Amino acid sequence: MITFDHVSKIYEPDIVGLEDVSVHIERGEFAFLVGHSGSGKSTFIRLLLKEFEPTEGTITVAGRNLQRMRRSTIPYHRRNIGCVFQDFKLLPNKNVAENVAYALRVTGQPGRVIRRKVPEILQLVGLGDKMYKMPDELSAGEQQRVSVARAFVNHPSLLVADEPTGNLDPDTSVGIMQLLYRINRAGTTVLMATHDREMVDKMRKRVIALKDGRVVRDEDKGLYR
């Protein structure tokens, strides 16, 4: 699903985002990307979403070489990756159902499909009774569930979560992780960048550790350390 082949990203001569990173993540895997602030996690994700180009190396996502991708196909590439962020990124002037429906509309789904899929996905994330609530009427955990629903409603083959539990209390974080685990069990590859040591240690999934832009550890069923 994801291959980084000797990838480096140098912002300035003395600012290194990633340095000679080679990582291969198979379809259907659940992998944690861990490391302190400045370790390279955000650079890794932004390169994956083709927000900018690597200085060196090759990145392949779902069999597509990102460096050879035409500019016109970049929005399509991003729409095929579900993204969940720490700050939810919900549209404040749209209710829960409209926020989720937006992800379907931008991919050109017809109204009948949207009317069927939105209630289904909200039921899946436990928000079937909150369809018409506005984001500011929801708890932080509920807002993140909406974010997960929006990321997954198109059933992407890859879901990227950047610190999805960063603003949540421990109990709510467990609920979000259980949700991501269920999505992974359904066949979606999940890559999660996190500082949540306890969650990583509890899940015992693959752990890719970054430090100063380099991969310092890559373990199956790993711990945060």
Closest CA to 131 of 93, 100, 97: 97
Give the C-alpha separation, 183 to 196, whole Å.
19
Give the C-alpha separation, 179 to 188, whole Å.
12
Give the C-alpha separation, 33 to 114, whole Å.
33
Average pLDDT, the chain: 92
Q: What is the pTM of this model?
A: 0.91
Averaged over 165-175, what is the pLDDT?
87
Domains in the chain, CATH or no CATH each: 1-79+200-225 (3.40.50.300), 91-154 (no CATH)
Residue 128, pLDDT score? 93
Closest CA to 159 of 64, 40, 31: 31
Averaged over 49-78, what is the pLDDT?
92
Residue 154, pLDDT score? 87
* Residue 57 reports pLDDT greater than 90: yes
Give the C-alpha separation, 200 to 165, whole Å.
12
- Check residue 136 and report its DSSP letter: G
Residue 107, pLDDT score? 82
Q: What is the pLDDT of residues 73-114, one digit of tens each?
A: 888 888 889 999 888 889 999 999 999 999 998 888 899 999
User: Contact at 8 Å (CB) between 24 and 2?
Assistant: yes
